[in-house]
Amino acid sequence: MLRGLGARLARHGSCALTGIIAHLRLLPPPRTAPGAGLLCAGAALSRGRVAAGARKNEYDLLVIGGGSGGLACAKEAAQFGRKVAVLDYVEPSPQGTAWGLGGTCVNVGCIPKKLMHQAALLGSSLKDAQHYGWSISQPVHHTWSVMAQSVQNYVKSLNWGHRVQLQEKKVKYFNIKGSFSDPHTVRGLTKAGKETVITADNIVIATGGRPKYPVHVAGALEYGITSDDLFWLKESPGKTLIVGASYVSLECAGFLTGIGLDTTVMMRSIPLRGFDQQMASLVTEHMESYGTKFLKRCFPTKVEKLKSNRLQVTWKNADLGTEETDSFNTVMWAVGRAPDTKTLNLEAAGVKTNSETGKIIVDASEATSVPHIYAIGDITEGRPELTPTAIAAGKLLAQRLFSQSSELMDYDNVPTTVFTPLEYGCVGLSEEAAVQRHGSDNIEFHLIHLHALSLSVLREDLFVMYCFQMVCLREREQRILGLHFIGPNAGEVIQGFALGIKCGATYPQMMKTVGIHPTCAEEVTKLHITKRSGLDATVTGC
C-alpha cells in the first residue's frame, strides 16, 4: 500500500512540492569539438571529455547527492537518453537520526515543517471555531505522537516515490558515501564494506547542507538536537528552547507554540537576518502575542543534564550583563547551516571552495574550478538556499549539458515564504538591500497595515495586524524592486506577484489592478501611503 502511494505521489503529488517539470526538447546530444561554437556548459563538457583521455567512463553523468536539486538534474539528464547515476548517503545526526532519499526538503525541511505548521493552524482554528457558532465539547488537546507518525509515514512514501522515479527513468541509484579519488572517479563503500568505483564524464555535486552545532558551548553536542532530529521525534519535545533567530528557528518555534508547547527562542542579535527587518520585527511581535517567549540579546554558555533528565541551560544577557539559567525538556540549535562537503575529498578533484564558508565556488553555468564538475543548491557560494532554485538550476544544467541549451539560471527575484504563525512572503529586494544598491533618495516605500477580517470582527481580544510593503524606484516608471506581505497564506499570495515583478511590473500598473474583495491580497492595490510621508498606513475600513 505504501509502495503504491509513493509511486502515485512521485508521478503526481510531488509536482506541487517541487515545481512543474520543464518542457523538453529531445534533441540529439552535441558532438562538436571544443571551440566550435558550443555555449557555456557545452564547451565545458567537451573539454571534460578531452581531459578524460582515452579512458571510457561508465556514466555520462554522476550526481552526488539525492536531494531535490540533484534528483531533478539526474532525471532531466536521463530523459535525453544519457547514462546517469545518483549517489546518496545520509550521515546520521549526532543524535542518531537518519532518513531516506530526497534530501533536506523532503525529510527534515520544507515538507515536515509545512505539515506541522498546518497542524498548529488547525489547532488555532478549532479554538476560534466557537466564535463562528461551532460547539467544541471538549478542550482542544494535541497528541504529538499521532501527528509525528502521520508526518513520518508521508515522508517515507515520498522516499519510496523518489526511488520509483529513478528506476522508471533508468537512473542507477547507489546508497553509498563517496569521495573523489580523481576528477572523474568517485569511490565509496557499501554498508557491507564492499568498495564501489564510479567513473563519469560529468559530475554534479549536490550534497546540500547540515545544521551547525555551537561547539564552543559546553554540552551543546551531547544534549542538543537540531531540525535534523525534531521532525523524527516519536514523543513530544515538551518545554523547548530554540537557540537562533533564523527562519528555521522561528518556523519551528511557531508550530511548537501552536500545538500547545512552552517554547522559547533565544536570539543573540536580529531575527531573520537577510530579510526585511521591519517585516521581521512584525513577525516576532506577533509570535510573542501568540505565546512564544523571546530571550533577546542573549547567548548560551553551557548545557547540563539534571538528575530529572531535564536540561539546564545557562546564558548571558548582553544588555544587562547578567547570567541566567532555566531548565527545558529539549534544546534545539538553529544557528545556521554548513555545506556537507567534508567527506568528498574535493582536493583530489581540484574543486575550489570558499575558505570561510566551505561552500563551492561556481560560475554562472554552475561550473566549479574543474570544467566537467558542477555544483548546485545549498553547497554553492552566493546562491539562495531554497529548494525551488536548486531544482530549476539542476534541470537547466542538464539541458545545457545534453540538449544544446544555453539558458542559465536566473537567481534574481526569487520568491520565498517564512511559515511562522503569521506567514511572511516576499520577492525581490528588502528595504535594506534596496537602499544599499540604489541609495535612499532613489527608493520609495509604500506601506499598508490592515486588520484580519476573519478574526478582528469576531474576536475583540485578538489583535492581528497584516502588512504589505512595496519597494519601488522613484524614477518615472517606478519599477517594483520588492514586495513583502505578512498575513495568512503568504506564499500563495506572493507567488502570483512574483511573475509580475519578474516581468518588470511598475507601481502605476499595480495601482491600476482591480483587487478581489474581500481578500487580504487586494490591499496591494491600495498602497498609496509612503514611509517618506510619515502618515499612518493603517486601513480603518473597506
Active centre residues (catalytic): 517
User: Residue type for 298, please?
Assistant: C
DSSP 8-state secondary structure symbol assigned to residue 353: B
Place of cell 559530475: 203
247: annotated binding-site residue?
yes
Residue 471 assigned to a binding site: no
**In this structure, what C-alpha cell is assigned to residue 33?**
569539438
- Nearest CA-CA partner of 377 in 362, 399, 356: 362
Strand partners, 418: 424
Q: Is 19 annotated as a binding residue?
A: no
Q: Where are the alpha helices (DSSP H) in 206-319?
A: 220-223, 227-230, 247-258, 277-290
Task: Quote the cell numbers at residue 131.
Answer: 466564535
Q: How far apart are CA 471 and CA 14, in angstroms?
A: 33
Torsion of CA 191, 192, 197, 200, to 10 degrees: -40
Residue 244 annotated as lining a ligand binding site: yes
Query: Is 335 flagged in the annotation as binding?
Result: no
- Work out the number of other CB atoms within 10 angstroms of the CB of residue 388: 19
Cα separation, 169 vs 63, whole angstroms: 14
- Distance (Å, rounded) from C-alpha 203 to C-alpha 186? 9
For 207, the grid coordinates are 550534497
249 known ligand binder: yes
Per the annotation, does 178 bind a ligand? yes
**Residue 408 to residue 412: CA distance in whole angstroms:** 12
213-225 in b/e burial notation, b at 16+ Cβ within 10 A?
Answer: bbeebebbeebbb
Q: What is the rounded distance in angstroms from the CA atom of residue 55 to the CA atom of residue 96? A: 41
Residue among 433, 453, 434, 471 nearest 521 (CA): 453
Tell which phi-psi region holds residue 270, choosing left (phi > 0), alpha (psi between -120 and 50) or beta. beta
Question: 26-47 as b/e, with b when 16 or more CB fall inside 10 Å?
Answer: eeeebeeeeeeebebbbbbbbb
155 SS3 class = helix
Range 123-150 burial, b when 16+ CB lie within 10 A, else e: beeeeeeeeeeeeeeeeeebebeebbee
- Using CA atoms, how far apart are residues 92 and 105, in angstroms rounded to an integer? 16
Torsion sign over Cα 384, 489, 272, 445: positive
Query: 250 among the known binding-site residues?
Result: yes
Whose cell is 547551516? That residue is 337
**310, 316, 322, 327: CA torsion to nearest 10:** -10
Task: Check: CB of residue 483 under 8 Å from CB of residue 497.
Answer: yes
The per-residue DSSP string of 96-118 comes to: -----TTHHHHHHSHHHHHHHHH
CA-CA distance, 363 to 341, in Å (whole number)?
18
Whether 114 has a binding-site annotation, put simply, is yes
CA 523 from chain center: how many Å? 27
Binding site as annotated, residues: 114, 178, 244-251, 336, 378
Binding site as annotated, residues for NAD(+): 244-251, 336
